[in-house]
Amino acid sequence: MSSTTTVDLERAQESNTAMILAVTGTFHALALVFVALRTYTRAIIVKTIGSDDYMMIASALCALGGGMVIFIIQGFYGLGRHKDTISKPDQVFFSKVGFFQSIISAIAALAFLKISIALSLLRLSKNRWYSRALWALIVFVVLYTIMAWLSFFLYCTPLEGYWNKSLKPTCYNLKLFVNFALVNTAFNIFTDVCFATLPIPIIWVLQMKLRTRIYLIGVLSLGYLAVIMGIIKAVYQIAQPGNRDGTFHQSIQFWGFLQLNLGLIAACAPAIKPLIGRALKITSSRRYNSDNLYENRYPTGRTGRTVNITATAKRQGYREQGSQGAPDFELEERAFSQSAEYYRTSIKGGNHPAAVAVYQKNNSFGDRAGSEEMILDVDNKFGESRGIMRTTEVHVQR
């Protein structure tokens, strides 16, 4: 009898709580940092925060409130401990908060994340098949997200029977419930592969430096790590009906949460390039090494007047850091509107006033649809968005 008591005490002391919270907390903290950096870059540096950014913020908030916070709460009610050592009231509360974790973090957060990714990728190209494929994926994500929610809300009657079996609820077959979950996981894996793969051929032909293209493809390929996490999660879902000690490892929720956070990191990494690009030398600026005479005639607003701007400049690429001489100048070119019939170019730097020119380019938008800066929405003074902004650092000698 005494030996049995000793074994029970040892079993009760076994715990994975610290490990589960440490790993999920670390990944989630990294994800929140990336989301914060993305939001700062888009709102403060680029000043073009868009619907994809709001979707990303919504995903991060769902992951925080519906994911990490619930993991911490469950830590006080049996997370990481053997199920047979947890009291019945604690098991009921554990399952109750777990229900909301599935609804908010495992389903809603992933949906917001994938919609955000799709909206971001739409900026890469105006290619018809590419845009249609992304919109089809958005619709697909919405539909299977609704299906996933229904599989939870309709599992038991009354709904409270999901976490409190003492109510003797009427629930549909557990195997069918697991099959719904597996289908949802398979759909998530499929969309992860699509979002990581679709942009690669588009990015590869963009007019940017090879280092920049490799960077963008590399960070988007982090989505394949989320695919691996999803596959591991699916393995545990298959074994779920026979698992009588799920609270000890909480494997499905654990791997699903890692999948979500890796997705957040992979989705935010390309958007913070303007913040870290200079440090990593992955700016999209181009080098020039020629003497040019610029003369631009352009209509100035609604008056239709034309102004000549002439300047002789020797473009020498990037000025060496710490060098003496003239200050850096920045050349900026952007489309007035989505038709891009007219482009606006400005050169500014140091204490010198900006020189501005607007000129016409026939079919220029189509030629530039592959530009890396299509990732960023640009608001222009004419009140239109989604223009192209290309920034080039130059050194002007007077």
Nearest CA among 46, 22, 57, 13 for reference residue 257: 22
Identify the CA nearest to 317 among candidates 209, 207, 203: 209
Alpha-carbon separation of residue 258 from 21, 38, 81, 99, 337 (angstroms): 12, 20, 20, 18, 41
Q: In the sheet where 389-394 sits, what is the strand order?
A: 352-360, 342-349, 329-335, 389-394
Tokens standing for residue 376: 């960023």
**CB contact at 8 A, 82 and 246:** no
Q: Give the per-residue pLDDT at 218.
A: 83
Q: Which residues pair with 356 in a beta bridge?
A: 346
Residue 335 has pLDDT above 60, yes or no: no
Out of 1.20.1070.10, 3.20.20.70, 3.40.1000.10, 2.40.50.140, the CATH code matching 10-279 is 1.20.1070.10
Between strands 291-299 and 170-171, the pairing is unpaired
List, for residues 208-233, the tens digit of each pLDDT value: 788 878 878 888 788 898 899 999 99
Compute the C-alpha angle 368/282/26, nearest 5°.
Answer: 115
Supply 372's token pair.
């890396």
Q: Indicate the pLDDT class of residue 384, thresholds 50, 70 and 90.
A: very low
Q: Which of 151, 227, 221, 236 is nearest to 190 (CA)?
A: 227
282 with 270: CB under 8 angstroms?
Answer: no
The structural domains of the chain, with segments of one domain joined by +, span 10-279, 291-394
pLDDT higher than 80, residue 84: yes
Q: Could you give the CA distance from residue 302 to residue 273 in angstroms, rounded to a whole number? A: 36
Q: What is the pLDDT of residue 327?
A: 39
CB 33 within 8 A of CB 25: no
Q: For residue 334, what pLDDT band results from cuts at 50, 70 and 90?
A: very low
Q: Which residue has the higher pLDDT, 366 or 55?
A: 55
Q: What is the pLDDT of residues 163-204, one digit of tens each?
A: 999 999 999 998 999 999 999 999 999 999 999 888 888 888
Mean pLDDT over residues 30-51, rounded? 93
- pLDDT score, position 319: 35
Query: How far is C-alpha 134 from the geometric centre of its chain's CA atoms?
Result: 15
**pLDDT higher than threshold 50 for residue 205:** yes
Size of the chain, expressed as the number of residues it contains: 398
- Taking residues 103-111, report their average pLDDT: 96
Mean pLDDT of the region 243-270: 92
Q: Measuring CA to CA, which residue among 376, 377, 373 is closest to residue 206?
A: 373
Please answer whether residues 324 and 312 qualify as being in contact, where contact means their C-beta atoms are separated by less than 8 angstroms.
no
- Would you place residue 356 in the very low, low, confident or very high pLDDT band (cuts 50, 70, 90)? low
Judged against a pLDDT cut of 90, whether residue 96 lies above it is answered with yes
Note the pLDDT of residue 242. 81
Average pLDDT, the chain: 76
d(CA 289, CA 394): 10
**pLDDT of amino acid 277:** 67
Average pLDDT on 351-366 reads: 46
For a pLDDT cut of 70, what percent of the chain falls above it? 68
